[in-house]
Homo-oligomer: A and B are copies of this chain.
């Protein structure tokens, strides 16, 4: 999809007015997220690379522009200007997969005002969703890891409940970089090179005279490593039928892979099923569980000692339900007149161009500092230049590199930061320089220039 006009009309009206008023100085905008959803302790940056691709390839489609011209909502001269619009500025961004916190810039854009403003909506559309799903999925993955003895796998089953086709695709990808083992979404698996997994539905079982016959039919086609869904009628009877088929497969030199539970008390049933399978010598047959799972339900199953090897997670991971959206915004922070900040009730922003420094002590992160660019702070700077004069300057990481980056970075935070329930807020400080600039601009807003001159006298 050509995303050039996948934007809010006001980006175009503002640009038209900037052009008309000869206002095309250089400005800096930053993309950040205002706050964390309840019980979330961090975010995982995602969508950065797609955003870079978008910025560096903006080019309006001629037919679309023609349709836009016919609407008569923008000056003719601006439509002409849009024909040759391209982004020529600089962008700094977090590395894809980096954990970050509210108010920390995820991306910093410096360009002609018209160009920096133009990309706002599209950037937010890309980064808000993918960051939300990567974070949600990382929480789900962490929940399944709590038990030290067993690290259960998480698999994305969300396509049917995803908010459209793009959400199904990018959601599967986001879940994978966040640590999911694979997806049931065939197209996403092929497109992004993710492991594709799948079992069968209840309708398959109901299509045969008995469950046992259905299991035999399925394993006739997939004799090795199949997963049988055992709860169509009764889960324990289903496990017995699966055990019969597993023994028949053994006799033919094959092995059943797993059984899947999709209803009822999953902790209780998984224990019964595990015992039944073990009693039959089928220790190798794994247990997969699904049924409207989320990180809290998985944590509870883990704490109850449910012997579940993999969780299929659908609705709540692919939509981040009940969060559904994170408050990512894109704000002007500086132009030729200096630092800019907004004073609307409850919607303050940090003025100036920023860098974020992450402080580490003996392999663990202790705190971050949001500083003005150029301040000498120490620690690891998180924003890297990714676009220079409109061209990409950082190579695209592979998905597996990003996945590994997520894993190693998240591990360096105190476990309370990534706790899914009662996390401890991570410490994000503002540098002295940033505090001074904020105070100066706040004073400038509260007082007239004359009063201000007096107060600074």
Contacts and interface: CB of A to CB of B under 8 A. Distances in A.
Interface in A9-66: 9-14, 16-18, 20-21, 23, 27, 29, 64
Interface of A: 1, 3, 5-14, 16-18, 20-21, 23, 27, 29, 64, 67-68, 71, 73, 75, 113, 117, 120-121, 124-126, 128-129, 157, 159-171, 184-187, 189-190, 196-204, 206-209, 217-218, 220-222, 231-234, 262-264, 315-316, 318-325, 327-328, 331-332, 335, 337, 340, 342-347, 445
26 contacts: A6-B168, A8-B159, A9-B197, A10-B199, A13-B222, A14-B201, A20-B217, A23-B208, A27-B207, A68-B186, A71-B190, A121-B159, A124-B161, A125-B164, A163-B163, A163-B171, A164-B167, A203-B331, A203-B332, A231-B344, A232-B342, A233-B344, A263-B345, A316-B324, A316-B325, A321-B325
Nearest to A198: B9
A200 to B, nearest CB: 5
A117 B165 contact: no
B346 A207 contact: no
A165 B166 contact: yes
Q: How many copies does the complex hold?
A: 2
Interface centre among A12, A120, A200, A232 (most CB of B within 10 A): A200
A121 B185 CA distance: 9
A232 B341 CA distance: 10
B345 A264 contact: yes
Nearest to A318: B325
Given A17-B217, A168-B125, A204-B17, A184 B321 contact: no
B233 A445 contact: yes
B232 A162 contact: no
B1 A342 contact: no
B64 A121 contact: no
A344 B232 contact: yes
Given A67-B190, A124-B161, A186-B12, A17 B222 contact: yes
Contacts of A163: 129, 162-164, 166-167, 171, 319, 324-325
Contacts of A218: 13-14, 17
Nearest to A193: B67
Given A164-B170, A165-B1, A221-B17, A9 B196 contact: yes
A187 B8 contact: no
